């Protein structure tokens, strides 16, 4: 009897630790390395309203530039509602990028996209 109670306490403790470890996840991410002196060449607010029981998606195409990208910084402002951003094509150190944004079901998108280039 005491072994099963101890097992239950251990299982509850593991679940609690995992919840704390992953509770702070947000969709903010950085692709590449942002260095001192890099120039902000593009800034865009990615905002889409939620859709009832649906996932909201959006693709952003950053057209080829004459200079290389050094970093793409994506900041999630949705208070950890499960939105994600992913680099679909290109990106640092390339000269273009295609970024995909995806919300959790029944939530919208609220991101800031910043693209940096090395000093030119």
Tens-level pLDDT at each residue, the chain (120 residues): 555 555 444 433 344 333 434 444 566 899 999 999 999 999 999 999 989 999 999 999 999 989 899 999 999 988 767 789 999 999 999 999 999 999 999 898 999 999 999 866
Q: Is 97 exposed, middle or buried (0-12, 13-18, 19+ CB in 10 A)?
A: buried
Q: Is 80 exposed, middle or buried (0-12, 13-18, 19+ CB in 10 A)?
A: middle
Nearest to 94 by CA among 117, 120, 60: 117
* Polymer length of the chain: 120
Q: Give pTM, 2 decimals.
A: 0.74
């Amino acid at each position: 009897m005491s072994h099963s109670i101890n097992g239950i306490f251990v299982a509850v403790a593991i679940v609690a630790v995992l919840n704390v470890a992953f509770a702070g996840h947000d969709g903010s991410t950085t692709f590449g390395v942002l260095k001192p002196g890099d120039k902000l060449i593009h800034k865009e607010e990615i905002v889409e309203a939620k859709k009832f029981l649906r996932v909201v998606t959006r693709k952003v195409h950053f057209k080829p530039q004459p200079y290389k990208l050094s970093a793409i910084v994506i900041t999630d402002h949705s208070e950890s509602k499960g939105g994600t951003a992913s680099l679909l094509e290109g990106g640092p150190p390339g000269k273009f990028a295609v970024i995909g944004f995806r919300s959790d079901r029944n939530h919208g998108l609220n991101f800031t996209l910043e693209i940096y280039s090395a000093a030119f």
